[in-house]
Chains A and B, each alone.
Chain A
């Protein structure tokens, strides 16, 4: 049967990070997908063995720009698990605040990009403008918009001043009315329903077989979240809900992320208002030989770090596993059987972060037409326009 192969990437103007997909299509339907990564592999695990435990935190932070807190969080928990030791309460609260702030800005970033892939460029611009408020709040609390450099094995490096808390709280609460408007606009929009419902379904059995994580699996009905299953930080001392939906399609993944943002705002507010006094650092001097495992619920799923120490001041082995590593293979289950105009939004729906994972060209045998990557995004935007016209909205 005549099949065509579509490459997407590796350097595509609308992808955040380089990756290379090869979709094999038959007419309009995708029959196979192959993912090729490795364009961002910088050998961080080997680098970590050349640095001391404290220096390693800075390398680890720069694995990814968007989820830059999740890696130090999991790494410091892994090092503390070697001993094992618990950090002081104030440090736990500060870590939680930074972790949740990162979750909000990461989900907003993804929402903007998803809007762009669908053709709603206004959503992209508005959501990124909203994201600036959160980045301002993080700058007030930690000094930087990304790469906060707040973590260290044994606690946090810097404290949050009490006079910084009211302006940060004001900024965080100011996004809630706009988020409410966004929630109503997304959940009730008929064009988005037609466009995203029933597309790219990942069933619960497949999610469990591929060991998918984060919103990707919570949208398929798998109620797992490291913050609830193995509580750490301040997550068991504040009131919040886990968002789980049943259908596993792209629409559900959008809904899970939008609702999670409200929960993150709740957690941040409670933590900032109830910050306990006390020490912020345990001043760990020596790491004894042993092994430790640390996990953190990053915006994309569970980040897992394994650290082995042999008594010197450098890790003997540091294994980094980002959530996207487990979520990427699920493409084999979600994209096959869908049309190529839906391919971009399905590929974007797992919120891929290729930097973390590492440490799509159509060859048409029947005709002569070759699709390129931006053709696929344009196909996706055209499909939205068609649906809008059909519904009489344009």
Chain B
């Protein structure tokens, strides 16, 4: 029963966000504070490192989730395309490494190497960034955009609408970034994200 109440609360919150989004189109979305996380190459990464960035594609993903595994190539392609347009892509792993052995930093390194990631793959060891974004599943995708010197969430949800068949998929992420690059508000600012649940330690 408790869970249902929670679900309804979440659904209500999402609904309110929609209403909010449509009423105040120009500055919609939660502001995200900058972070400093360790990349698989050993260096740390912050949003402020990217001086020319107009916005970011932020993907919460992980090593073991079968649905997330489908997206490595697509994320590489998105990164290649949009970092050239000053919208870099950053992937973050917020999974609890104490519970999931597969999500260790060592395994993240192997994953980044094996899948030839052309973007930073960051470990959110304290889970603070995941909580700040309210990322609930892997994979889940966000587009944040610079507005009044703040990073505002402009899109949240899934990467596209077909995990197994990329050729049939409609890319929500591409559409959102393209809208923003054209100076428009995002046509479809929110979709459902699903895959493996991210459990947050209390």
A binds B: no
